[in-house]
Amino acid sequence: MTQRTRWWWVRHAPVTGVDGRIYGNSDPDANTADPPTYTALARLLPKDALLVTSHLRRAIQTAAAIRDAGLDLPAPLIEPDLGEQCFGDWQGRKREEVWAELNPRHLFWLQPARGRPPGGETFVEMVQRVVLTIDRLNAEHAGRDIVVVAHGGTIRAALVHKLRLDPEVALACQVDNCSLTRLDHFGPTESHPEGAWAMFHFNQRPAEKLGVEPDRTAMLALLPR
């Protein structure tokens, strides 16, 4: 039977205090005040999985909220290379300010996956570090369920390599907070020595799937005032 490793990707909860600013791989806290969402995730995610997060607080806090809601897994394995893209000098600045300063022919507009923020990394470079971590964990924990709480950029990076998406196309994929994406690895086999990847869910909202009404009051509290 072909060996199957299931990757359950969860984007972190909404962040607090950024007020429309680019936060990239800086470290704001997450707002996890939406119990139905975490209850739904705890019910959907496998109970005997390896739990992994990036090193950033918002991912660790989201994983803790899911565990507190009933997902009985050991403390997560922390993987810094699954962190969000570094936007360098743009981090902490309002998006509209940065966009207004960019020349219309700046590479970030023409090829955003290959454009480098000053002092930061390109999305293509991010893909390279994320993929190395995925491949290592996939080899070390082959045949298991792996739950990863990480970031929109991290999930897009996984799509680029594992589904062979063009990086520019991946950047156009919407990844919502607390959404669930699942990628499974099959193999290896004689005909496919590196195995093969398939996507089973993308940007799934767990609360809606289970018919649970999210806490709208908590969500409204996140809106800019």
- CA atoms of 210 and 198, how far apart (whole Å): 23
pLDDT at 106 over 90: no
Answer whether residue 105 is part of any domain.
no
Q: What is the mean pLDDT of residues 107-115?
A: 81
Task: Fill in the amino acid letter for 16.
Answer: T
Residue 103 has a pLDDT of: 75
Answer whether residue 74 is part of any domain.
yes
In this prediction the pTM is 0.89
pLDDT-derived band of residue 208, with 50, 70 and 90 as boundaries? low
pLDDT per position as a tens digit, 63-92? 999 999 999 999 999 999 999 999 999 999
CB under 8 A, 24+ apart: contacts of 126-129: 126/85, 126/86, 126/153, 126/154, 126/157, 127/157, 127/160, 127/161, 127/167, 129/81
Higher pLDDT pick, 78 / 187:
78
Residue span of the structural domain in which 31 resides? 4-85+121-220
As a whole-number percent, the residues of the chain with pLDDT over 70 amount to 89
The number of distinct structural domains making up the chain is: 1
The closest alpha carbon to 186, from 166, 162, 165, 159, belongs to: 162
CATH assignment at residue 44: 3.40.50.1240
Answer whether residue 180 is part of any domain.
yes
- CA atoms of 57 and 30, how far apart (whole Å): 7
Residue 217 has a pLDDT of: 42
Answer whether residue 104 is part of any domain.
no
pLDDT per position as a tens digit, 20-60? 899 999 999 999 999 999 999 999 999 999 999 999 999 99
The closest alpha carbon to 30, from 44, 10, 3, belongs to: 10
pLDDT-derived band of residue 180, with 50, 70 and 90 as boundaries? very high
Answer whether residue 67 is part of any domain.
yes
Answer whether residue 205 is part of any domain.
yes
Answer whether residue 225 is part of any domain.
no
Helix (H) or strand (E) holding 27: none
pLDDT at 94 over 60: yes
Mean per-residue pLDDT over the chain, rounded: 90
The closest alpha carbon to 71, from 143, 14, 149, 16, belongs to: 149
Residue 215 has a pLDDT of: 45
Answer whether residue 32 is part of any domain.
yes
Q: What is the mean pLDDT of residues 121-145?
A: 97
